[in-house]
Amino acid sequence: MNPINIDYDKCTGCMACRNICPTGAIKIKINSKGFEYPDIDKNICINCGICDRICPITINKKEPKRITNNPIKVYAAKNKVENIREKSSSGGVFYEISELILDKMNGCVCGAVYDKDFEVKHIMTSKKEKRNYMQGSKYVQSQMGYLYKEIEEKLKNNQVVLFTGTPCEVDGVYNYLASKNIDTTNLYTCDIICHGVPSPGIYKQYLKKLEEKFSSKIKSINFRYKENNYTQNIKIEFENGKQYISNYFKGDELYNLFLKDYILRDSCYRCNYASTKRVADITIGDFWGIEKTIENFDDKKGVSLVLINTEKGKAIFGKVSDKFNLIESNIEDCMQNNLKKPCDIPQNYDELWKIYEKNGFLGICDYIKNL
């Protein structure tokens, strides 16, 4: 058997292969654009081929196999508690689902947090204080580490687990567990509608530039600071008491590179999951364009789009639905780009990355200003 032949255009970095490898032969390599890729140490690899057999790319070939139908229910949701919605990116749906898992089901929650250096990583927790750090979108690819092994252990001990993340990460979890014949009755999954994940390498340099500009270390980051009827501001607080608030329209460099689609992972431009056929039990996102179909619901403080994809998803969302101002919608009325197709590669994408190779992050900051 052969180990996985890493297809750099398609590898999502879900790291299921690294988690499954029986000899620890799969290390991490950072590519020139700042993304993590699996890297096989041929001296340790025993050619068992398990990494290839569980890889979502190998399994899915053309499209994900897990769910073949459109969602069974579609909702617009706003958390009734303002403070929860304020700390969430959209309408605060993640918070209530995770609250149910922690409070009523004695379970654990997996999601993306900042570590002490503001790198974004997936962790598992049964504690609410740590769960709170998962609130809010971090617009950078999250590091998965060996989280799938932890999920396996919890499920083997009959504990409930909620996994939240991008659809490719959710698919990685399912493939990993299936290959080990783990019973997934106690696993609940929630994916986000995903524009694509930005480069951790670029994000790091963006933070460094701001720390230099403000002559201070960063104390907190909020990608979805809600201010002046706009929910996509970035707010960064510094240890010296200063703060930076900006957004796409005010020229924030990271938001511009992200939303103009320059710094997404290569696989994001070929994403198989950018569809209404979802891999998770529940999908959450922003209900962009809601004003066109539901009047007087959008108060510019964040409205969630909730897609209920499975009976399991329906059961758990049913238990928290009273926490929201909720309106039923349908799949036609909630369509947005990344439910239809992946982002396109921008015209001058290669040019931007050439400039990056030559002049680094500052070079592309200048370049993006003139686009």
**Nearest-approach distance from CB 346 to ligand FAD, in angstroms:** 16
Calculate ∠ Cα 181-8-357, nearest 5°. Answer: 145
Our CB check for ligand FAD shows the closer of 40 and 310 to be 310
Asked if residues 202 and 293 have their Cβ atoms less than 8 Å apart, the reply is no
Measure the CA–CA gap between 127 and 21, rounded to whole angstroms.
Answer: 29
**Nearest-approach distance from CB 134 to ligand FAD, in angstroms:** 5
What type of residue sits at position 52? Answer: D
Our CB check for ligand FAD shows the closer of 152 and 191 to be 191
Classify burial at 263, counting beta carbons within 10 Å of its beta carbon; exposed 0-12, middle 13-18, buried 19 or more: buried
Asked if residues 169 and 121 have their Cβ atoms less than 8 Å apart, the reply is no
What type of residue sits at position 157? Answer: N
Q: Give the Cβ contact number of residue 74 at 10 Å.
A: 21
**Nearest-approach distance from CB 169 to ligand FAD, in angstroms:** 6
Our CB check for ligand FAD shows the closer of 188 and 214 to be 188
Binding site for ligand FAD (CB under 6 A): 88-95, 111-112, 120, 134-140, 142, 164-166, 192-195, 197, 284-286, 288, 304-305, 336, 338
Measure the CA–CA gap between 82 and 112, rounded to whole angstroms.
Answer: 22
**Nearest-approach distance from CB 5 to ligand FAD, in angstroms:** 26
Measure the CA–CA gap between 369 and 256, rounded to whole angstroms.
Answer: 9
Our CB check for ligand FAD shows the closer of 197 and 218 to be 197
Q: Which residues pair with 161 in a beta bridge?
A: 108, 187
Measure the CA–CA gap between 200 and 159, rounded to whole angstroms.
Answer: 32
Our CB check for ligand FAD shows the closer of 40 and 306 to be 306
**Nearest-approach distance from CB 7 to ligand FAD, in angstroms:** 21
Our CB check for ligand FAD shows the closer of 137 and 247 to be 137
**Nearest-approach distance from CB 77 to ligand FAD, in angstroms:** 8
**Nearest-approach distance from CB 120 to ligand FAD, in angstroms:** 5
Our CB check for ligand FAD shows the closer of 59 and 112 to be 112
- Give the residue among 300, 302, 301, 198 at the shortest CA–CA distance from 253: 198
